[in-house]
Amino acid sequence: MKISFIGLGTMGRPMATHLLRAGYDVMVYNRSRESSLKLAEAGASVASSPKEATQHSDIVITMLSNDRAVEEVILGENGVLAGAKAGQIVMDCSTISPKTSQKLADQLAGIGVDMLDAPVTGSEPQAIEGILTFMVGGKKEIYEKCLPLFEVMGKASFYMGKSGAGSYIKLANNTMAAINLLSLSESIVMAAKAGIDPELFVQVVNGGGARSGMVDTKSPKMINRDFHPNFATELMHKDLTLAVDIAADMNIPVPVLSLVRQMLQMGMSKGYSKEDVCSVVKLYEEWANVEVKKHDQKNL
């Protein structure tokens, strides 16, 4: 089976690397050729365009930043559609609007190409470890055909239903994750303001009903002042904007989601766009005039 992987950013590079290590014949394309050349050192061949990558593959996997990028790669002059042929599969792992997923699936179906929308939970560390979870929309038989690829790149995959279903679930998941992140930010700053060791606070949280994945992954970054972007603020804000849009389409009130999105917008206005989404804690720190950081155990 020949695989083409398009989009070698924070998530795509480790995902493609896992496929190479599993012995797959992988061709890569990235807008920045430097990223492609790094994968070439690991055994990948390098395409000059999405069209060329598609012409040399059975399955095309895309992992891109937003709707515009996915549409350009698939529908552009030298895009996937231009190089595709009947019987191929396109698997888009990007987080995009379900409407875009459905539109692209329809256009590819017109030439006999099946598409899965297969966004993931997890960020850079999970991609590197190969423990992502995939939420997949499209034909069930195509999902089952791609199961070996999901197993190489992740720890689990779930078939959610027809085209667009994976994208809907990803936005619902990120809504919950972002809300959990804001609850962690408010609470850990409250503890810090009270003079409590934030690491001890996290231990208490993990022993009860307030524990969450965000506590596991983001509290260490907050406490260690590590705002390196495993998942950038601007990307989460983009996802929440998509979630607000689909909620409006379905006539669902989302007051908490709307507030959280505005909080991330405030973080971006402070210059945190490229920092990890947990940098939102710095807004609370500024308001409370306190910094979340490790306590000096000698002075306790």
Catalytic residues: 170
Q: Check: CB of residue 50 under 8 Å from CB of residue 81.
A: no
Alpha helices in 41-164 (DSSP H): 50-55, 67-75, 80-83, 98-109, 124-129, 140-145, 147-153
Compute and round to an integer the Cα radius of gyration of the chain: 20
Q: Check: CB of residue 198 under 8 Å from CB of residue 189.
A: no
Cβ neighbours, 10 Å, residue 47: 22
Helix %, strand %, coil % for the chain, to 5?
Answer: 55, 15, 30
